[in-house]
Structure 1
Amino acid sequence: MFTKTENSLKYSIIILGFTTLVTQIILLREFLTVFNGNELVIGIILANWMLLTAGGTFIGKYFDRVGEKMKIVVPSQILLGILPIIVVFLIYYLKNLVLPVGKMVSLTEIFIGSLILLLPFCFISGVLFTIFCSWLSSLQNTNIINKVYAWEAFGSIAGGLVFNFIFIFYLKTFFSLTILMMLNLFAAGFILFTYNKKTASYILSAITILLTILLMTNNIDRKALNFLYENQEVIFYKDTPYGNIVVTKTDDQFNFFENGVSVFSSDNIISNEENVHYAMVQHAKPENVLLISGGVAGTLNEILKYNIKSLDYVEINPTLIEIGEMLTGNLKDDERIHIINQDARIYLAKTEKSYDVVLINLPDPSNVQLNRYYTLEFFEKLKEKLNSKAVISISLQSTKNYVSKEAGQIHATLFSTLKLVFKNVIIIPGERNYFLSSDDNLSYAISSLIISKVIETEYVNKFYIDDYRIAEESRLIEDAISNHEKINYDFKPLIYFLQLKYWLSYFGHSYYLLGLIIFIPFLIIIFRLNIINFGLFVTGFSASSIEIVLIIAFQVIYGYVYQMMGIIITFFMAGLGIGSYYLIKKISINHKVFSIIQYLIGIISILIPLILLGLQNYISSSFVIHLTFIILIMIIGILTGVQFSLATKLRVSYISTIAATAYSSDLLGSAVGALLSTAFLIPYLGLIKVLLLVGIINIIAGLIILLKTKNR
C-alpha cells in the first residue's frame, strides 16, 4: 500500500507520462508543419527527443544525493507544464526571424534548432524519471523501477487517448497545451500539500487558475500563425485527423497549406490549365474523368469545358472541401461532379467505375504518404480502372533548362515505373513537368489539339504554347533520363529516397558522410555498454525502428497517418505498461529469459513483413487494417516493457544508477533506430528488408547475451 505522500508522487508520474506523450505528438506535428517535414524530419525530432531525455535520465542519478528531493521535483513539474507552450510559440516566432522568408531549411538547421528547443523539456523529464525511481524505491524499501516505468506508460496511454479522440477534434494547439500546464501545476501543488506546504500549494493553485484563464481567453494560435505566415492574412486554421489545414490570403488569392506544405492557390490560371488540358486533349472523347486532389483550386472549371458525362473528385480531407467551397466558389453545383472524401487508393480498390482520363494533382513525393501515388503498385491498380484508350497525368517539379543529377534520377525512376504499366509515356514541360501515360498514342502538339477541340483557354493555346519547343524540350529531358531503369515501389520508396538526396544537394550535404557522422559515435557507445544495457540498447533500437516502419506502412496501405501516428504511439505505450507492470510478474527473472525476449522481438520483426504484404489485399477493410497495426505495435510494446523490467531486476547497484543507465540505454537505442531507419535504412533498403534486418540483429543480440551470461 502507498501512503498519501507516495500517492502524490504516483500521480505526478502519471501526469509526467501524460504530458510527455501529448507534448511529443504536438511538437512532432508543429515541427512537421513549420519545416515542411517528411519522415526524415520525424526521425530527427524523435532522435533528439530521446537523446536529450536519455541525457537527463543519466544526469538524474547525481541528484540522488539531494536530501529533500521535493525541492527538485516541484519546480521541475511546474516547468514541464509551462515549457511546451513556450517551445511551440518559439517554433512559430523564430522560423522567419532566424531564417529568411522562403528559404529552404537545411538538415543542419532542423537538427540544431530542434535540439535547442527540445533541450529544456526533454532533459527535465529525463531527470524526473530517475528521481521518481530513486525516491519511491527508497520509500518502499525495494526496487520498483518497473512500476515507475509502467505508471509513466499508463499516463502516456491516457494522454494519447485524450489527445487523439478529444484534443485533435475539439481544441486548438495552445488550448491543449494550457490544459497540460494546468495538470502539471496542480500536480506540483498536490505534492506541496502532502508535505504540509499548504500556503505554497494554495498560492500555486491560484497562479494556475489565473494563468489558465489568461491563456484560454487569448487566441494564441492565431498570433503564432501570423508570425509564421508573414505578410499573409491567416483566414482559417484547423487540426484535422488528416492534417493541419491553414488558409491564408494575399491580395485576392487564397493559399491552402496542409502540414505546412503549399497544396494549391486559388485563381492560378496557368497551373489550372496545365493540370487539365495537357492530358484531356490527348483523348478523342473523354467522358468519365477522375480528379485526385486540387479541385478546389479551379481545375474543375477547366475539366467542365469538355463534353464529359461524369467527374469524380477525390479529396481525402473534407475540411479542404468545406473551406474551399466557402472561400473560392470553384466547386460548382453541377450534377456531373461527384465529390468523394476518401483516400484515392482505397476508393480505387472499392469502385466499379472505369475512366477515360485520370488527373493526379499532388505535390512532389517528398514523403512516403505522397510517394504511394508514384509507385508501381498504384499505377497497376489504377490501370485496372481505366478504359482501353485512357490517359493519366502526374507531375514533378519543373527542371527548367537544366536537369541536375538528382532531379534526373527522380524523373527517370517515375518514367521507368510508368513504362512498366503503360505502352506510351511522354513528358510535357511547363510550370511542372507533366508525365502523360497511355496505351494509345500521345502527342506533344498541345496547342494544335486545343484548336481542334475548340477549347477556350487563357494560357494553354497557340499564343503562349509552341508545339515545336515543347517537343524539343521534352526530348531533351527524356534523353537525359534514358539510362536509368530503377522502379519505385510501395515498400521500397525509391523516389522518396531520391527526393531526400535532392533536398540535401541544395546544401552540399553528403548523404553517406552524414550517415557515418551519425553512426560512429553510437558504435563507440555500444561497445562501452554492459551486456544487460546492450540488450536494452538493441531493444530500444528495434522498438523505435519497428514503430516507424509501422507508421510508414500504415501510410502506404491506408493513406494518412496524422491521427494514426498518435494512436500507434499510444498503443505502444499501452504495451509497455502491460509488459512492465503485469507480465513481469508471470516470468522468471534470469538472463536466459532476457535472451529469449530478444529472440521473440527478432521473430516478430521477421514475421511482420508477411502480415504487411497480406494486408494489401484488405485495403478496403478499415477495421482489419487498424486492428492489425494496433495488435502489432502492442506486441512490440509488451516485449519492450518486459525486457526493460527484466533489466532493472537483473542489475545490482544503486537504484538511481540502475534507473539512469537502463532508461538511457533504452532511449539511446531508440534514438539511433529513429534516425537510422528514417534517414538511411528505409529509403535505401525498403520497409521489408529493414524489418528483416532488425529481426536478424535481435537474434544475434540474443545469442550474444546468452553466451555472455551462461554462467550467471
Structure 2
Amino acid sequence: MLKLTRFSGSGVFLYIAFFVYGFVSLCAQLLLLRELGVLFYGNELFIGFSLGLWLLWVGAGNWAGRRFPAAAFPWLLTILAFALPIEITLIRFSKTCFGFGMIPGPVETLMTTAVLLFPLCFISGSLFSAGCSFSKDRRLDAAGIYCLESFGAVAAGVTYTFILAGRFSNFFTAWGLGLSLIIANYLLICTFVTRKKFHTVFFIFYLLFFLGASFSSLDLKTRRLEWKGYQFLDSLDSRFGNLVLTQTGNLKELFRDGLITASFPDPRSHEEIAHWPLLAHPDPKDIFLTGGAATGELREILKHPVRRVEVAEIDGSLFKFLKPVLSPGDLAALKDPRLRVHLVDGRFFLKHTPNAYDCILLNLPEPSNAQINRFYTQEFFQEAKKRLRPGGILALAIPSSENYLPPQMAFYNSSIFLTLRSVFKEVSLVPGTPLIYLAHDNPLNLDPGTLADRTRERGLNNTVVVPSYFGIKLDPARVQFFLDKLTRGPRSDLNRDFLPVTYYYSWKVWLLKFQDPTLFLWAFAFVTLFVLVARFLRRRKMSLSWRDGSAVILTLGFSGMVYEILVLLAFQAKEGYIYSQMGFLFAAAMSGIALGGWVGARKKGYSPKQNSLLLSAQAVLGLLLAVLFSFYDAAFRYFPAIILFVLLMIPIGFIPGYGFASLARSFSPAKLYTADLFGGGCGAIFTGLFLVPILGILKLYYLSAVLLFAIGWRLRRKKAGG
C-alpha cells in the first residue's frame, strides 16, 4: 500500500484530482449511454434504467468505500483509468452473447446492463468515500469534494458535447479520459506519496499504451466484434449517434444506434413509399422527404416531373459515410439540380420553413423509440399539415402484413391512424407490407385506372409499383378489411409529444414477444433481494431517517432524477437527437448541483424546518415544470429550445445540491451521499421502465409535486406535534 506523506502543499493537485474525477465520471456516463444505446436499439426508456443502475452501483461503491484506507484513493484513480476502455470493449462483446440477429428480451436486457455497469460504477463510487478519507485534514471536506466533482462534471458536459462527440471515436475518447486520470493521479502522488519512481514509470507506460491504442484499429476491431455474424463494412461515431454499415448478399444495411434504418438496394420498399403518394397526387411539383434520401427513395421520387425535392437530414456525415457503397443511380440523384439538402432535423425544418409542398414523405423506421416517435405525433402532423398546399398529401409507412393484422399490431397501428384522423379529414390506406397511410383534406383519386394513366404519362419504368399491381393492392374489400381492423377494435389513445402512446404500444409489442413464466421468477427474485438488502442495511444501522437528513436527501434524489429524466424525454420528443445534446443538458444539471452545493456549504447550523422546506421547494418546481410543458408550443415556439431546457436543468440540480451540502455539515456525508445516489437510482429506473409508460410526462410531474407536498406537510405536522 502507498505510504502517505504529511500534506505540505497548497492542495491544488488535490483539487485537480477531484475535478478530473468529476469530469471523467460524466464523460464515462455519456460514452456508456451511447454504447448501451447501440446494444438496445436506441430505446430511450433504457436511458432511465441505465442511469438508475449507474447511480445504484455508484451508491454501493460509495458505501463499501468507507472501509477503504485513505491510501487506496490513488490506486482507485489508476484502476478507473483502465476500466473505461475495458468497459466499452465488454459492452461491444456482450452483443455476441445474444446470438446472431437476435433481439434481447427484457430479462437479458436488464441483467446485461446491470452486470456491465457494475465494475466501473462501483470503482467510481468507492472513489468518493476514499477521497473523503484521503482529503481529511487537508483543507477539503465532503461538501467541497461534492462541489469540485460537480464542477468537473459541468466542464465534461460542455467539452463532450462541443468538442469530443463526433470528432473522436468512443474508444479513442475513453483512452484519453484514462490518460487525464493518470496525469491527475501522478500530480497527486508527487505531492502526497513517497514512492514516486514507480508511479513515474507507470505514468509513462500508460502514455505509451494510450498512443498505441489511439493510432491502431482497436475501435474498428471491437466494433467488428460487436457485429459478429454480420458482414461488417464500416462504422462511424458521429455527433448524433453511431452508424454501422453491414452487408448480406447484395443487400446493404444501415444501422443507426443499433436500429436498422435502411436496406439497399431494395426496389420494393423504395418504390412503395415514393410512388404511391406521388401517383395519388395529380401534379406533384414540390416534395419534402425526411429519411432514406441516399438509399434509393430519392432516385424514385426524381422519376416524376417534380420541380423541387427538399431533404432534411441532421447528420451530414451520413452522406459521406454511405458514398463509397451507393449505386451510380443514387449518386446521380444526390447531384440532381432539383435537390436541396438541409442539414437540420426534419421536424425542426418543417416547423420553421416558409415553403409549401405538394407531398411530404416520411421514410422512417417504425416508432420504436422516442426519437422516431416524434414524427408520428399529433403535434407533428399539425406542423406538417401547415406546410401542405391545398390537395397536398402526407405519406408514411408502418410495419404490417399483406392480408392479416394481429390484434396487438392492429392496436399499435390504429394509434397512428387515429392520430392522423384527428388532424386530417381523410386517411387513405394502401394495404400491404408495409401499410401506407396517405393523409389528406381534399378528395383523393386512388382509382387503379387513373393511377395507371399517370404512370404512363410520367414515363415511369418501375419494377414493383406497376399498373398490373394497382387493382390487387387497392381492392376495396382488402382496404375495408384493414380499415375495420384499425377502427373497430379497442380504441387506442392519440399519440402526443408528452404522452407518446404509440412508442409505448411498440414497447408492449416487444414485451409480448418474450412472454415467459421465468419473468415472474425474476420479479420475485428482485423483490426478495430488495428486502434482504433493506434488512442488511437496517442491521448495519444504515436505515434511513428524517432526523439525520438521509430520508430527505433520498427523496430529493428520487424526485430530482424523475424531473431530469422527464426533461430529457421532453427534449427528445420536441427537438430530437438527445444523444447530441445530452452532455450539455447534464452539464446544466450538474452546474445547478454545484451552485446549490456552494450555497448550501455556506449555511451554518441545522433547523428541522429545513427538511419540509426543501421538499416543498421541490414540489413547487414540479408544478412549474408541468405548467410550462402544458403550454410549451404556444409559449416557446420561437424561443431557442436548447437554452430553455438548459435553464430548466439548473434548478432541478440546485435543490438536491443545496440539500446535500447544507446537511453534510451536520450529519454523515457518506450516508447522505449514499442516500442521494440510491434515491436518484430508484427514481431513474422507475421513471424509465414504469412511470412514464403509464402516466406520461405531464401527469408524472403533477403526481410528484402532490406527493412531495404531502410528505412536507406530514413532516411539518410531525414537528409541530413533537
TM normalised by structure 2 equals 0.90
Determine the structure 1 residue equivalent to 2:673: 663
Determine the structure 1 residue equivalent to 2:659: 643
Once the two structures are aligned, what percentage of the paired residues are identical?
A: 26
Greater CA drift, 607-616 or 558-567: 607-616
Q: CA deviation at 1:326?
A: 5.2
For the residue of structure 2 that corresponds to 1:281, the secondary structure is helix
Map Cα deviations across residues 622-645 of structure 1 (whole Å, 9 max, x no partner): 6x3222211111111111100111
User: 158, 168, 189: which one pairs with 1:192?
Assistant: 189
Map Cα deviations across residues 372-423 of structure 1 (whole Å, 9 max, x no partner): 1111111122112212222221121124554333212111111111111222
Q: CA deviation at 1:61?
A: 2.2
Distance in 2, Cα, partners of 1:144 & 1:326:
56
Determine the structure 2 residue equivalent to 1:499: 506
Aligned residues: 697
Determine the structure 2 residue equivalent to 1:598: 615
User: 276, 289, 292: which one pairs with 2:290?
Assistant: 292
Determine the structure 1 residue equivalent to 2:154: 157
Determine the structure 1 residue equivalent to 2:82: 82
Q: CA deviation at 1:344?
A: 2.0
Q: Is the 8 A contact 1:393 1:437 kept in 2?
A: yes
What letter is aligned with 2:76? S
User: 506, 509, 515: which one pairs with 1:508?
Assistant: 515
Distance in 2, Cα, partners of 1:89 & 1:5:
39
Determine the structure 2 residue equivalent to 1:654: none
Q: CA RMSD in A?
A: 2.8
Distance in 2, Cα, partners of 1:587 & 1:406:
59
Q: 1:704–1:517: structure 2 CA closer, same or farther, 3 Å change rule?
A: farther
For the residue of structure 2 that corresponds to 1:688, the secondary structure is helix
Q: Is the 8 A contact 1:540 1:669 kept in 2?
A: yes
Q: Is the 8 A contact 2:428 2:437 kept in 1?
A: yes
Greater CA drift, 325-334 or 144-153: 325-334
For the pair 1:10 / 2:15, whether they are aligned, the reply is yes
Q: 1:447–1:367: structure 2 CA closer, same or farther, 3 Å change rule?
A: farther
Q: Is the 8 A contact 2:451 2:467 kept in 1?
A: no
Q: CA deviation at 1:579?
A: 1.0
Distance in 2, Cα, partners of 1:2 & 1:156:
27
User: 709, 712, 715: which one pairs with 1:705?
Assistant: 715
Q: CA deviation at 1:41?
A: 1.6
Distance in 1, Cα, partners of 2:604 & 2:107:
45
What letter is aligned with 1:198? K
Greater CA drift, 28-37 or 382-391: 382-391
What letter is aligned with 1:685? L
Greater CA drift, 192-201 or 434-443: 434-443
Determine the structure 1 residue equivalent to 2:164: 167
Distance in 2, Cα, partners of 1:78 & 1:356:
60
Q: Which runs of 5+ in 2 are unaligned?
A: 1-5
Q: CA deviation at 1:101?
A: 0.9
Q: Is the 8 A contact 1:590 1:650 kept in 2?
A: no
**Equivalences for residues 286-325 of structure 1 within 5 A:** 286-325=284-323
Q: Is the 8 A contact 2:606 2:663 kept in 1?
A: no
Q: Is the 8 A contact 2:420 2:439 kept in 1?
A: yes
Q: CA deviation at 1:583?
A: 4.4
User: 544, 553, 556: which one pairs with 1:529?
Assistant: 544
Determine the structure 1 residue equivalent to 2:370: 368
Distance in 1, Cα, partners of 2:449 & 2:227:
38
Q: Is the 8 A contact 2:384 2:394 kept in 1?
A: no
Q: Is the 8 A contact 1:594 1:646 kept in 2?
A: no
User: 193, 196, 202: which one pairs with 2:200?
Assistant: 202
Q: CA deviation at 1:18?
A: 1.4
Q: CA deviation at 1:448?
A: 6.6
Q: CA deviation at 1:187?
A: 3.0
Q: CA deviation at 1:42?
A: 1.1
Q: CA deviation at 1:516?
A: 9.3
**Equivalences for residues 289-688 of structure 1 within 5 A:** 289-325=287-323, 327-328=325-326, 329=328, 330=330, 331-442=333-444, 449-454=451-456, 455-462=460-467, 467=472, 471-482=476-487, 483=489, 484-508=491-515, 528-531=543-546, 532-586=549-603, 589-617=606-634, 621=638, 624-651=640-667, 658-688=668-698
For the residue of structure 2 that corresponds to 1:294, the secondary structure is coil
Q: Which runs of 5+ in 1 are unaligned?
A: 652-657
For the residue of structure 2 that corresponds to 1:562, the secondary structure is helix
Map Cα deviations across residues 59-97 of structure 1 (whole Å, 9 max, x no partner): 22233xx4xx21x2232111101011111112112312x
Map Cα deviations across residues 104-158 of structure 1 (whole Å, 9 max, x no partner): 1112112111211111111111112112223323555xx9221111111122122
Map Cα deviations across residues 173-220 of structure 1 (whole Å, 9 max, x no partner): 111111111122233333433211112222212222221122122121
Q: CA deviation at 1:569?
A: 0.9
Determine the structure 1 residue equivalent to 2:106: 107
Distance in 1, Cα, partners of 2:352 & 2:303:
28
What letter is aligned with 1:55? A
**Equivalences for residues 123-138 of structure 1 within 5 A:** 123-138=122-137
Q: CA deviation at 1:472?
A: 3.9
Distance in 2, Cα, partners of 1:246 & 1:560:
17
Q: Is the 8 A contact 1:253 1:266 kept in 2?
A: yes
Distance in 1, Cα, partners of 2:402 & 2:606:
65
Distance in 1, Cα, partners of 2:527 & 2:45:
16
Q: 1:361–1:468: structure 2 CA closer, same or farther, 3 Å change rule?
A: closer
Q: 1:44–1:446: structure 2 CA closer, same or farther, 3 Å change rule?
A: farther
Distance in 1, Cα, partners of 2:506 & 2:159:
35
For the residue of structure 2 that corresponds to 1:248, the secondary structure is strand
Q: Is the 8 A contact 1:603 1:695 kept in 2?
A: yes
What letter is aligned with 1:535? V
Q: 1:360–1:469: structure 2 CA closer, same or farther, 3 Å change rule?
A: closer
Q: 1:169–1:619: structure 2 CA closer, same or farther, 3 Å change rule?
A: farther
For the pair 1:95 / 2:102, whether they are aligned, the reply is no
Q: 1:103–1:199: structure 2 CA closer, same or farther, 3 Å change rule?
A: same
TM normalised by structure 1 equals 0.91
For the residue of structure 1 that corresponds to 2:437, the secondary structure is strand
Map Cα deviations across residues 582-624 of structure 1 (whole Å, 9 max, x no partner): 34315763222232122111111110133234442476646x3
Q: 1:509–1:445: structure 2 CA closer, same or farther, 3 Å change rule?
A: farther
User: 217, 236, 239: which one pairs with 1:238?
Assistant: 236
**Equivalences for residues 273-284 of structure 1 within 5 A:** 273-284=271-282
Q: Is the 8 A contact 2:600 2:659 kept in 1?
A: no
Greater CA drift, 252-261 or 2-11: 2-11
Distance in 1, Cα, partners of 2:349 & 2:523:
39
User: 162, 175, 192: which one pairs with 1:178?
Assistant: 175
Q: Is the 8 A contact 2:430 2:474 kept in 1?
A: no
Q: 1:542–1:518: structure 2 CA closer, same or farther, 3 Å change rule?
A: farther
Distance in 2, Cα, partners of 1:609 & 1:590:
30
Q: CA deviation at 1:171?
A: 1.5
What letter is aligned with 1:398? S
Q: Is the 8 A contact 1:428 1:444 kept in 2?
A: no
For the residue of structure 2 that corresponds to 1:650, the secondary structure is coil
For the pair 1:58 / 2:63, whether they are aligned, the reply is yes
Q: 1:520–1:150: structure 2 CA closer, same or farther, 3 Å change rule?
A: farther
Distance in 2, Cα, partners of 1:598 & 1:493:
29
Greater CA drift, 606-615 or 365-374: 606-615
What letter is aligned with 1:112? M
Determine the structure 1 residue equivalent to 2:50: 45
What letter is aligned with 1:705? L
What letter is aligned with 1:84? L
Q: Is the 8 A contact 2:95 2:227 kept in 1?
A: no
Greater CA drift, 485-494 or 439-448: 439-448
Q: CA deviation at 1:510?
A: 9.6
For the residue of structure 2 that corresponds to 1:75, the secondary structure is helix
